[in-house]
Amino acid sequence: MDVARRAGVSTSTVSRALRGVPTVSPEARIRVERAARELSFALSRSASSLVTGKTRRVAVLTPGLPRAPWFLGTCLTGMAGGLREAGLDLLVYAITDTTERAAFFERLPARRNADAVMVVSFILTEEERERLDELGVPVVYVSQHAPDRASVYIDDVAGARQGMQYLLNLGHRRITYLQSAAADSFVWSAYDRLVGYREALEEAGLPYDDSLVVRAEYSRSGIREAVGSLLSLPQMPTALFVESDDMAFEVMSILRSCGIDVPGRMSVLGFDDHPLAESLDLSTVAQSAWRTGCIAAELVSSVLTDPSSDPTRHIVLPTHLIPRGSTAPPPTDHQAETPAVAQQEPPSPGRTVNGS
């Protein structure tokens, strides 16, 4: 090493000084640091890795064509930031199609090239998860549940309850839950949010009405169709709780194009706090993609530095409601009020219980 010669010490001492090992005399340490700076020296991680067996790198597995690129972009930078603090680098494996997917799990190129793996925006099969386990390094699932594996995700049940509670507090009684029909990703989220929806209804003593829970294809026409089914119900909902902000934007745009005022005639509540939610004045249940990435990185580095820590730990992050302009109390519908009740179909048992 040139640094060693310049500092007048052995390479062993250079190595120790640079890594902050305490058993180095202050003078030696200073000389080494100066020499390193003067020569713009940076350790070769390859050489270090070869002897320590640690790469100081963490691989992250993502879809190559992310459905929510804003989430991925934000989460990745959160991860990279969190890892950098621990002196770890971030390696991205973006998997675009099924061929690549198969090849990745067949060859596992991350083997020996990363100290840990994170999986984000990507739902794996149980076989794929088992294959990752074979890598023999910690694996952390981000923004998703993975049974018996370390996971970082938001509390979808509580988030959905927060949103429902808010709508109920505004006075809404007929509230739709609109979810994506896409089963391929974020499956637990969708399920958990529905659980939260039902729990909130139950607590409020309101009946669960199947016709108010609709699934939409994740496309403009799919969402339009779902909105259509709601607008043609004998009794329209007064609020729509939408599974994601992305879909909620579309819902708002469709409603307004139909002349239905949001929030005057219909409240719309999203989930995520998309970067545009503020601009577009969408009320939403917020999660932080950045924080999720950051926390996941911290979990990885803690598992890496402290092998005694539970490698299957689950971290559940909170959500919070952000009220904006897309929600308001339900319209005081003059036709449907007291006198009109008789015109409706006879109240169902569920409703009378509540009304009495």
Partner DNA sequence: CTGAAAGCGCTTACAG
Q: Is 271 in the site for its own copies (CB under 8 A)?
A: no
For residue 215 the two structure tokens come to 């699934």
Q: Is 98 in the site for its own copies (CB under 8 A)?
A: no
Let me know: does 189 contact 337? Beta carbons within 8 Å. Answer: no
Q: Is 6 in the site for its own copies (CB under 8 A)?
A: no
The footprint of its own copies on residues 22-41 (CB under 8 A) is 40
Q: Which does 16 bind (CB under 5 to 8 A by kind): its own copies, DNA, none?
A: DNA
Reduced to 3 states (helix: H, G, I; strand: E, B; else coil), residue 268 is strand
Q: Which does 352 bind (CB under 5 to 8 A by kind): DNA, its own copies, none?
A: none
Q: Which does 160 bind (CB under 5 to 8 A by kind): its own copies, DNA, none?
A: none
- Token pair 């109240």 is found at 347
For residue 172 the two structure tokens come to 């809404």
Binder of DNA out of 15, 238, 267, 284 (CB under 7 A): 15
> Which span (15-23, 82-90, 129-137, 313-321) binds DNA, by CB under 7 A?
15-23
213, β-bridge pairs: 177
Q: Which does 98 bind (CB under 5 to 8 A by kind): its own copies, DNA, none?
A: none
Asked if the peptide bond before residue 339 counts as cis, ω within 30 degrees of 0, the response is no
The footprint of its own copies on residues 45-74 (CB under 8 A) is 45-47, 49-50, 55, 57, 62-66, 69-74
Dist CA 165 CA 258 (whole Å): 28
Q: Are β-strands 150-154 and 175-180 bridged in parallel, bridged antiparallel, or unpaired? A: unpaired
Q: Which residue, 275 or 350, is less far from its own copies as judged by CB?
A: 275
Per-residue x/- mask for DNA, residues 197 to 216, rule CB under 7 A?
--------------------
For residue 192 the two structure tokens come to 């958990």
Q: What angle do CA 39, 44, 49 make, to 5 degrees?
A: 155
Dist CA 300 CA 244 (whole Å): 28
Q: Residue by residue, what is the 3-state secondary structure of 12-48?
A: HHHHHHHHCCCCCCHHHHHHHHHHHHHCCCCCCHHHH
Dist CA 324 CA 331 (whole Å): 17
Q: Is 28 in the site for DNA (CB under 7 A)?
A: yes
> Which span (5-13, 69-77, 187-195, 241-249) binds DNA, by CB under 7 A?
5-13
Binder of its own copies out of 30, 43, 187, 316 (CB under 8 A): 43
Let me know: does 237 contact 212? Beta carbons within 8 Å. Answer: yes
Taking alpha carbons only, the member of 116, 113, 135 closest to residue 298 is 116
Q: Which does 61 bind (CB under 5 to 8 A by kind): its own copies, DNA, none?
A: none
Q: Is 23 in the site for DNA (CB under 7 A)?
A: yes
Residues forming the site for DNA (CB under 7 A): 1, 8-16, 18-19, 22-25, 27-28, 41, 43-44, 47-48, 50-53, 112
Residues forming the site for its own copies (CB under 8 A): 40, 42-47, 49-50, 55, 57, 62-66, 69-74, 76-77, 80-81, 84, 89-94, 96, 100, 107-113, 134, 220, 246, 249-250, 253, 256, 275-276, 278-281, 289-290
